[in-house]
Chains A and B, each alone.
Chain A
Amino acid sequence: MSALATIAFYLGVIAYSAASTLFFLELARQSVQASRSAWGPRVLAAGAVVHSVHIVVASLVLKRCPVESLHFGLSFSALVAVAAFLLLRRHANLDPMGVIVAPIALTFLVGAQFVGVDLEPEQLVSRPLLVSHVTANVLGLGLFVVAGASGLLYLLQERRLRDKRAGGVASRLPSLDALDRTTHRLLLGGFPLLTFGVVTGAIFSRQFDSFAGAALARTLFGFATWFLLAGVLVLRRLAGVRGRRAAYGTVAGVLCVLLVVLIYVVRPGGHS
């Protein structure tokens, strides 16, 4: 059983690495001829399948529900990001986003191996609330990662258009309109999850003996992220703020999300 989990893990690493390379080569290709087939997304999808197998089998071996563990949570959020990307690319030509999504999935899959299996507040909070909190965060993180990738590519494409440069990498990037729409949809999907995660996170923090240090920083960054992304959504809705400013806001918000995760991962005693 554990051998199957290990094999699935290594296959996932290989598939994500290959997909990252394929996406990069496709973006950097010199020829103007369109590639005959989209191998990057296919390999990424194959990676997602073995990644799923790894999570299911490894969680059975360790007797841990995937959403009760940061180890699996991180890994699972990468899977969510990949799934979201693969679904969205069917509606618009978003393949170049794979150059960001695939390496991030690889990083999360490998990085999760260095994170402890148990959750810190396991003994302190109610199990259903904990499961809901982690599930919301895992799903939200996956969606925000793709939103961040989309926002970054928007800024890159916009910069190239402002510079009035033709050809090169930018000519193969998705259109500004597609990137803006994608970012917005992902934020809309991820924001309720973020809200739930922030609120439940704050509840957990209050239950700790000392509401200080890493927990405090986490909570503060959580709220800052919430305000930032709420601002992006509200300003778009009320004042039509989109495009570059929205992309900057999104990228900043996603960086805050990643910072919160990082603070959690490197908390004292939080890693194996």
Chain B
Amino acid sequence: VISVVGLSHKSAPIEVRERFALPAERVPELLRSVVAHPAVGEALLVSTCNRVELVVAPRAGASLEAAAAACREALAALAPGAPASALYALTGGAAVRHLFGVAASLDSLVLGEPQILGQVKEAYEVAQRTGTVGSVLHRTLARAIRAAKHVRSGTAIGAGQVSVPSVAVDFARRIFGDLRGRTLLLVGSGEMAETVARSLLSSGARLLVIGRTPEKVRALAESFGGEPCAWNDLALALERADVVITSTSAPGFVVDPAHVASARKKRRGRSQFFIDLAVPRDVNPEIESLDGIFLYNVDDLSRVVAESLLTRGREAVQAQSIIDEEAKSFDRWADAEQATPLVVALRERIRGALRFELERSLRGRLRHLGAAEREALDTMLDAAVNRVLHEPTTRLRQAASVGDLDTPSFPELNSAIEHVFSLEGGRVSSDPLRSERPEREGASSVPRSGAAELEAASSDPLAVDLDAAADLSAGVSGSR
């Protein structure tokens, strides 16, 4: 059904990936150039800091491999001279499984991170605005999103925090709830401490900065919009601080139990959260015995990160089985879709014949009928075609999707029906009886509208209405 060609953090280092990075405004241009290729019918580009992947559906008559080759060419043109081995190409079921896994964050650098699903939806919306998605990618993306949601709701793949700053913020929230209006004291400086401080500040905390070098303190406070404090005012700053981050290069403890006990008394027992990121440690661990005082050092935070990653890794096994199940279900749908062109042609043939006869009668013995009667006859004709073709359609779809040793295979049925009804390659051959297929309201080769429609389709993916499928198939500009 689809091909996926691209590169990710698993196949290429950042020096290679950055050469393939494409500004957002150039994505439509790339997509248009890809679908201009004779082998490609539909295309979208998933572009994140960890991956650049073209997802395409081939045109009618073109193979998945040909579509993949076209994608490879298009991507290679983005980064001339980049190693070809960085690009991988997946086709058919493997591509579907890969796309589902990507949407479910099983292929992400940080397993279970939630952003990727939004990025996949965004990729679809961009492609839709550009006009490069049709029914195949629409259905595939809807299934991918459904699978991703299933994984997130059915497993703990997104449980816990997987970075030191996010763990620190999580614990701070468990102590204080809302961090707005809380005071954060940064003692010393350091890359990790500043990152943690930035995370806490983004939640609305106020910042005090204290250190032994006044110039550094002032510069740091300015860069964060905080308040600089003199080193001698440490005790005073401790009284004001709800969260204290320490990261000095002092050889011994900077904060000891006497400091904290005194501050605690002045704070009338309000809780304090100490995050000691220094090695050697800045905060004497004895302060933990004080009621309402919580101390976490870099090992504590790292251990929580490791536990979260371990949990996510365990959950990934279950998540993968969900993805496999969803992909299998999608494969069945895609297989059944093979029958659609034949069903459409058969329907056209029978309806055309009946309509021809009906129109002849309406011009002759039935010419006295009024508009209402004519409309009723038209409706009856449609109902009759549906009734006659219901069972054959079901059997054709079954043959296409599951197959059965006791019954003829789909290719056999296909050629037999084509032969008996004079259909050519799933199309009605030139035929004097052929009549125009009436336009159906709402039928279109291109799905109706962006992510909202994707959501709807993902919540009811099995609602593959025969007529709608037939209309889509008839309308899609050859993307099968």
Contacts and interface: CB of A to CB of B under 8 A. Distances in A.
Given A166-B171, A240-B268, A243-B269, A31 B153 contact: yes
A166 B175 contact: no
A157 B171 CA distance: 11
B170 A166 contact: yes
B234 interface: no
Q: Interface extent on B, as a size class?
A: 35 or more
Nearest to A161: B294
A167 B311 contact: yes
A33 B170 contact: no
Interface stretch (A13-21, A70-78, A169-177, A255-263): A169-177
Contact of B156 (A30, A92, A164, A244): A30
Interface string A24-37: 00000011110000
A32 B304 CA distance: 16
B308 A167 contact: yes
A31 B308 contact: no
Nearest to B114: A32
B368 interface: no
Contacts of B267: 240
B269 A32 contact: no
Contacts of B303: 164
B271 interface: yes
Given A32-B158, A243-B292, A175 B176 contact: yes
A90 to B, nearest CB: 15
B167 interface: yes
A256 to B, nearest CB: 22
Contact of B160 (A164, A167, A174, A180): A167
Contacts of B291: 243-245
A93 interface: yes
Given A167-B311, A240-B268, A161 B304 contact: no
A182 B174 CA distance: 15
A167 B159 contact: yes
A176 B159 contact: no
B23 interface: no
B155 A30 contact: yes
Nearest to B158: A32
B160 A175 contact: no
A31 B156 contact: yes
B140 interface: no
Given A33-B152, A243-B291, A175 B173 contact: yes
A157 B292 contact: no
B170 A171 contact: yes
B269 A166 contact: no
A240 B173 CA distance: 22
A152 to B, nearest CB: 16
A162 interface: yes
Contact of A32 (B156, B174, B265, B271): B156
Interface string A180-199: 10000000000000000000
Interface in B131-187: 152-156, 158-161, 167, 170-171, 173-177
Contacts of B167: 166
Interface in B89-138: none
B199 to A, nearest CB: 15
A178 interface: yes
A116 to B, nearest CB: 44
B118 to A, nearest CB: 14
B174 A157 contact: yes
Interface string B53-74: 0000000000000000000000
Interface in B299-315: 300, 303-304, 307-308, 311
B333 interface: no
Given A31-B156, A32-B152, A240 B176 contact: no
B296 interface: yes
A256 B292 CA distance: 25
Contact of A164 (B159, B161, B270, B304): B304
Contacts of A161: 171, 174-175, 294
Contacts of A60: none
A30 B151 CA distance: 11
B421 to A, nearest CB: 50
B386 to A, nearest CB: 38
A175 B242 CA distance: 14
A64 interface: no
Contacts of B174: 157, 160-161, 170-171, 173, 175-176
Nearest to B267: A240
A41 B283 CA distance: 42
Nearest to A170: B174
B304 A92 contact: no
Nearest to B161: A166
B463 to A, nearest CB: 22
A239 B307 CA distance: 39
Counting chain A CB atoms within 10 Å of each CB, the highest count among B159, B176, B311 belongs to: B159
A31 B177 contact: no
B270 A176 contact: no
Given A30-B156, A32-B159, A240-B265, A178 B177 contact: yes
Given A162-B294, A164-B300, 17 more contacts: A31-B154, A33-B152, A33-B158, A161-B175, A161-B294, A166-B304, A167-B159, A167-B307, A167-B311, A175-B174, A175-B177, A176-B174, A177-B176, A178-B177, A180-B271, A239-B269, A242-B270
5 tightest A-B CB contacts, nearest first: A240-B268, A175-B177, A240-B269, A243-B292, A32-B158
14 contacts: A31-B156, A162-B288, A166-B170, A166-B304, A166-B308, A167-B160, A171-B170, A175-B174, A175-B175, A176-B271, A240-B264, A241-B269, A242-B269, A245-B291
